[in-house]
Amino acid sequence: MRTPAAHPLLGAVHACAAVLAAVSLFDMLGGALSERGTALAFGALVTLGELTRWTGAEGREAAPLGAAAALSYALLGESGGEPTHHGVTQVVGVVLAATLIGCVPHIARGRPVLDHVSRRVLTTGFAAVCFQPLYSQGTFRGWGTAYALLLVAILTLTALCDALLAAAQAHARTRWPFVPLLRDEVRATLGIGSAVCATGAVMALAVAVAGLWALPVFCVPLLLTQLSFHRYAAVRTTYRQTIASLARATEIAGYTPAGHARRVAALSREVGRDLGLSDAELTVLEYAALMHDIGQLSLVDPVEAGATAVLPVEEQRRIALLGGAVVRQTGVNPQVALVVERLADPCPEQPVAARIVRAVNAYEEKARDAGPGGPLKALEELRLATAGEYAPEVVGSLARVLSRDGLSMPVAG
């Protein structure tokens, strides 16, 4: 897939983060650093969080300790009962410097960090702007319990701001629909994001009473949580690799061309994104696409090039049912087996995932065998067959995805 060109929205986000970072660093370096011990302690915690950040988190918060420490410093009004005097620019400057130091190993490995750093700067700046000026003016004196609720409210708004930025960045880079991306980011915020916000609020309150000794006490649980998420991500990666290996059984046995299942899965996921499917639905779709041909192992004589789209409907249905039975024996999500079983059903009766896999599989088979101009010919055949064989909305989405990825053709309406 061709990477889309840079979007103006992405440039605007980076520009805003760069301006805020430059102003903060200039102001911080031009004056004395307030409470250096406190700044160094929180900076070290942010750096530790970034150093332990993992990749492959699908855009989710991969450095929860760094995020919690940054937000806690932004909402810090006292340390050990003594008022602090750091302002918005010092908060942003310290967090930025610590984040960049922690990102050095990731940069050395060639991992992208610009979006991550931009989000960290903007969300930290947002939280600091909401809290520091009002606290310095004494607005929150005597609030009691309401003060803790205020911190939670600011952190909630900050989390929503971060989800909005993450969705905007993903939309700008991929051209996927913004609303489903935002929905997935908000859902993710309810998971690890809620732990980050809660830890940030508790750390700020604890340091205000007990001083910097509270930091190691409250960062250990989040480090353990981060380790758990890291292991969970590794298990998911291994699980997906196992599914992909199982799907290759038809290729090894000579029933389907090499790479067919992988290509169908990749394109199906793109179409699912374009149609606004959630992350959970996309996972089911991807697994079903990888294993959509597994039922062909029941055939005595392989279909030429694995092109099941040319078989009689009853034969397609038998292969789909056998494939679903095999998938159920693997322990995969039962929804995956359901999608595989429904691949040969009449289009109006199919779930969305089955409609997508069916259309993408037919496109891949037709484009592969059509020679020069194959993609255009294949898509035109699918368009002409949309009266009941392929879902028109799926074919239209497929056309949009192919158009974005460099296929020179008019986009279907």
Instruction: Supply the pTM of this predicted model.
Output: 0.75
Is 1 inside any structural domain? Answer: no
Distance CA 11, CA 118 (A): 11
173 and 29 within one domain? yes
Query: Which residue reads 């916000």 in tokens?
Result: 197
Q: Looking at residue 1, what is its pLDDT?
A: 41
- Please tell me which residue, 74 or 54, carries the higher pLDDT value: 74
- Over residues 319-341, the mean pLDDT reads 85
Report H helices in 31-113: 36-51, 64-74, 88-108
Q: Note down the domain range covering 332.
A: 248-404
Contact indicator for 177, 273 with CB cutoff of 8 Å? yes
Which helix (H) or strand (E) segment holds residue 363: the answer is helix 352-369
Q: What band does 15 get if pLDDT is binned at 50, 70 and 90?
A: very high
Whole-number pLDDT of residue 370: 60
Residue 243 lies in a domain: no
Instruction: Give the three-state DSSP class for 378.
Output: helix
Cα(153)–Cα(161) distance, rounded to whole angstroms?
A: 12
CATH number of the structural domain spanning residue 255:
1.10.3210.10
The pLDDT assigned to 73 comes to: 93
- For the chain, what is the domain count? 2
Please report whether residue 238 resides in a domain: no
* Residue 144: band (very low, low, confident or very high) from pLDDT cuts 50, 70, 90: confident
Structure tokens at 94: 């310290």
Is the pLDDT at 156 greater than 80? The verdict is yes
Question: What integer is the mean pLDDT of 255-278?
Answer: 88
Quick check: is 239 in a domain?
no
Are residues 171 and 255 both part of a single domain? Answer: no
Assigned domain for 219 exists: yes
In contact, 52 and 65? CB cutoff 8 Å? yes
Check if the beta carbon of residue 220 is closer than 8 Å to that of residue 68.
Answer: no
The mean pLDDT value of the chain amounts to 82
Is there a contact between 260 and 293 (Cβ–Cβ < 8 Å)?
A: yes
pLDDT at 236: 74
Query: Does residue 3 belong to any structural domain of this protein?
Result: no
Do both 287 and 219 map to the same domain? Answer: no
Whether residue 302 is contained in a domain is answered as: yes
pLDDT at 310: 65
